Structure 1
Amino acid sequence: MVRDPLASTNEPSAAEVCAALDDPDCREIIRALETPLTAAEIQERCDIPQSTLYRKLEQLTDATLLEESTEIRRDGHHASKYSIAFEEIRITMDEDHTLDVAVERPARTADERLADLWSEVRRET
């Protein structure tokens, strides 16, 4: 399932974001993502066991810190690619001492907004 946190209106909880950022493997994955990479490419760079890697990728995408997209290949063997989906994360505490998280997202290009619109149309049909 391809997940795009930039198109989502749901913000992750502070607990989800903090748990992902507290995990050394998750931080290593984030550091490795200078450009979008497949899980196999991330595994090569991070030397994380495959089963662990997929759990960490899911944790990061659930926390909306990574965007998962599909790379269409001519041979029909499409691959998921992962990229960083935030520019800044702020954790604040309100008057009742509840933690709140604000994730600043990168600006969307016209092509990305069109892809979002097309994805929404496909979901509704």
Structure 2
Amino acid sequence: MSRGGWTEQPDQESNALLSALGSKYSAEILCAAGTPKSAQALSEDIEIPIATCYRRIEELVDAGLLECEGRQLSEEGRRTNIYRRTLDEIEVDFSSEEPQFSQKRRTEAKNRLQDQRTD
């Protein structure tokens, strides 16, 4: 269901979403991933251990909140995945028996505009 650019999350995905959002550092990773970044860059930006960052990234990708946007060469010459969040806003409604989620997904146009500002 959609309302004003918001889409509701199916019930089966709610638990994964709530779990991913409830993990320490997940919100910080999502905030930092407004532009494409590697796990190493995210780890450095929010000052968390790289292993923790990789675990949170995996949870966020599994929940559909973060996506791998491609690969690029690191400063050391290794290919690394680049991640970006898939949404800008999420709403949680606890008034029912199960939490209900609505999210405002990022558009490709918004991603392109954001990328132009950071170049």
Give the TM-score normalised by the residue count of structure 2. Answer: 0.66
Aligned Cα RMSD in Å?
A: 2.8
User: C-alpha distance in 2, partners of 1:31/1:72?
Assistant: 21
Q: How many angstroms does 1:60 deviate by? A: 0.7
Q: Structure 1 unaligned runs (5+)? A: 1-9, 113-125
| Identical-pair percentage | 27
Q: How many angstroms does 1:80 deviate by? A: 0.6
Give 1:36's aligned residue. Answer: 36
Q: How many angstroms does 1:27 deviate by? A: 1.6
User: C-alpha distance in 1, partners of 2:31/2:106?
Assistant: 17
User: C-alpha distance in 1, partners of 2:95/2:17?
Assistant: 17
Give 1:82's aligned residue. Answer: 83
The ranges of structure 1 where at least 4 consecutive aligned residues each deviate by more than 6 angstroms after the TM superposition are: none
Q: Following superposition of structure 1 onto structure 2, how do residues 106-125 of structure 1 map, counting pairs within 5 Å?
A: 106-109=106-109
Paired positions, count: 99
Give the TM-score normalised by the residue count of structure 1. Answer: 0.63
Q: Deviations over 1:74-100 (max 9, x none)?
A: xx84321111110221223576x2322
CA contact (8 A) 1:91 1:100 kept: yes
Corresponding position: 1:105 with 2:105: yes
Residue 58 of structure 2: SS of its match in structure 1?
helix
User: C-alpha distance in 1, partners of 2:27/2:92?
Assistant: 17
Give 1:19's aligned residue. Answer: 19
Q: Deviations over 1:1-26 (max 9, x none)?
A: xxxxxxxxx96722222222222311
Corresponding position: 1:46 with 2:46: yes
User: C-alpha distance in 1, partners of 2:83/2:58?
Assistant: 11
User: C-alpha distance in 1, partners of 2:37/2:22?
Assistant: 22
Higher percent of residues as strand? 2
CA contact (8 A) 1:36 1:82 kept: yes
Residue 24 of structure 1: SS of its match in structure 2?
coil
CA contact (8 A) 2:72 2:82 kept: no
Alpha carbons of 1:55 and 1:17: their partners in 2 closer, same or farther (altered >3 Å)? same
